[in-house]
Amino acid sequence: MRCAGIIILLALGLGLAPMGCKDKGGQRDHSTGDILIGEYGSMTGPTATFGQSSHEGVMLAIEQINAEGGVLGRKIRVISEDDQSKADEAVNAVQKLINRDGVVAIIGEVASKRSLAAGSVCQKYKIPMLSPASTNPEVTRTGDYIFRTCFTDDFQGKVGGQFALRRGWKNVAILTDVNNDYSKGLAHFFRAVYGKSGNIVADESYREGDKDFKAQLTTIKGKNPDAVFLPGYYTDVGLILRQARELGLNVPFFGGDGWDSPETLTLGKVVDGCFYSNHYSPEDPRPEVQAFLKAYEAKYNKIPDAMATLGYDAARVMADAIKRAGKADPQAIRDALAQTKDFSGASGIITIDAERNAKKPAVILEIRDGKTHLVDTIQP
């Protein structure tokens, strides 16, 4: 009953939003004043640190670019919207950015599910969208206006599989969030690689929003795996690890970049000895990484996580594309984005391929005593 009420309200909201301000998006004059870029992300909600970190990265990049004189002789202004970690709010957010604010390009989201939902809106209005961290392959298949500056799940899933094999784990259990495109994608490609020579002893699942995982964990524990592959987001990872340790399931868990959050590092001993694949490591000696680290620490007084790094790179790639486009026009920016080549970012060398994806190596980090340690780098 309550659900029905919410659905009706949402339906009204979604239906009315575009009606009120039809077709304003394309007709604005983009040739003077600040260049408006939209950014939407999960500033609050179960994946809040994703949005907050990438926002901080974006803002740092834009601040640096504007301090150097901006692009095309104009300053860049970022308009940010919070989607509360909800896919329907992400749709509302980009509709506001496009119709109300008239942005020429959009940066966002971290979570694949929300990038997929909002991406179709951007594609419809022909506004280029650059996702800093959505790894599900489907995201850029939405259309020719959707890009990303990170690797994809097929690669990250394979990285997980290769890593498990390199570690010599004979029996691995999988625990997937079946409501999450990202998690399903990772698990799928993990199975394909690891399943060839390793044993998948349990293939369990949960749904976004579940809080009790003891049923699945008890089943997994009964199969005595050497490790558990957990391609989820950090809020679930925290709950799952705590419950697993309570049940006495003390084997290492490993996952993907969905683990990357300061929250994961505060979990204490339940997360010690766990691994995850990621986009960058602060231990990387490359000058781009160290320069970014220094600037970020000076501004925010903390070490950037991967989402901050990817947000930073996405904003800089975007600014670079606007510069090469020569004008603040969505169509021209799209074409310039598509030609991005050998851009030296903090998270690696970024070249956008024909599928509008970036190919970059992945790092494997181990968590110990509230810190991450680089243990392996896997090339695409």
Among positive and negative, which fits the CA dihedral 89, 115, 28, 125? negative
Closer of 305 and 320 to another protein (Cβ): 305
Q: Does 317 bind another protein (CB under 8 A)?
A: no
Query: Nearest approach, Cβ of 272 to another protein (angstroms)?
Result: 16
Counting every residue, how long is the chain? Answer: 380
Of 208-216, 225-233, 312-320, 337-345: span binding another protein (CB under 8 A):
208-216
From residue 122, alpha-carbon distances to 102, 115, 335 in Å are 12, 10, 15
Q: Does 262 bind another protein (CB under 8 A)?
A: no
Going by C-beta distance under 8 Å and a sequence separation of 6 or more, which residues neighbour residue 27? none
- What is the Cα–Cα distance from 290 to 285, expressed in whole angstroms? 7
Closer of 226 and 376 to another protein (Cβ): 226
Closer of 91 and 104 to another protein (Cβ): 91
Q: What angle do CA 163, 167, 171 make, to 5 degrees?
A: 95
Q: Does 324 bind another protein (CB under 8 A)?
A: no
Q: Are 107 and 132 in contact (CB under 8 A)?
A: yes
Of 104-112, 163-171, 190-198, 209-217: span binding another protein (CB under 8 A):
209-217
Of the candidates 78, 45, 20, 110, the one whose C-alpha atom is nearest the C-alpha of residue 307 is 110
Q: Does 349 bind another protein (CB under 8 A)?
A: no
Q: Does 207 bind another protein (CB under 8 A)?
A: yes
Closer of 34 and 212 to another protein (Cβ): 212
Closer of 124 and 214 to another protein (Cβ): 214
Query: Nearest approach, Cβ of 133 to another protein (angstroms)?
Result: 19
Closer of 206 and 312 to another protein (Cβ): 206
- What is the Cα–Cα distance from 106 to 97, expressed in whole angstroms? 8
Q: Are 354 and 106 in contact (CB under 8 A)?
A: no
Q: Does 211 bind another protein (CB under 8 A)?
A: yes
Other Cβ atoms less than 10 A from the Cβ of 247: the count is 14
Of 58-66, 135-143, 233-241, 294-302: span binding another protein (CB under 8 A):
233-241
Q: Does 45 bind another protein (CB under 8 A)?
A: yes
Q: Does 242 bind another protein (CB under 8 A)?
A: yes
Phi and psi (nearest 5°) for 96? Answer: -65, -45
Q: Does 81 bind another protein (CB under 8 A)?
A: no
Q: Does 180 bind another protein (CB under 8 A)?
A: no
What residues between 212 and 231 interact with another protein by CB under 8 A?
212, 214-216, 218-219, 221-222
Q: Does 48 bind another protein (CB under 8 A)?
A: yes
Of the candidates 159, 141, 119, 115, the one whose C-alpha atom is nearest the C-alpha of residue 257 is 159
Encoded one letter per residue, x for contact with another protein by CB under 8 A and - for no contact, window 121-150 reads ------------------------------
- What is the Cα–Cα distance from 253 to 95, expressed in whole angstroms? 39
Q: Does 44 bind another protein (CB under 8 A)?
A: yes
The full DSSP string for 173-241 is EEEEETT-HHHHHHHHHHHHHHHHHSEEEEEEEE-TT----HHHHHHHHHT--SEEE----HHHHHHHH
- What is the Cα–Cα distance from 161 to 198, expressed in whole angstroms? 9
Closer of 1 and 298 to another protein (Cβ): 1
Q: Are 142 and 120 in contact (CB under 8 A)?
A: yes
Closer of 209 and 326 to another protein (Cβ): 209
Q: Does 232 bind another protein (CB under 8 A)?
A: no
Closer of 266 and 377 to another protein (Cβ): 266
Q: Give the interface with another protein as residue ranges (CB under 8 A).
A: 1-3, 5-6, 44-46, 48, 84-85, 176, 178-179, 203-207, 209, 211-212, 214-216, 218-219, 221-222, 235, 238-239, 242, 246-248
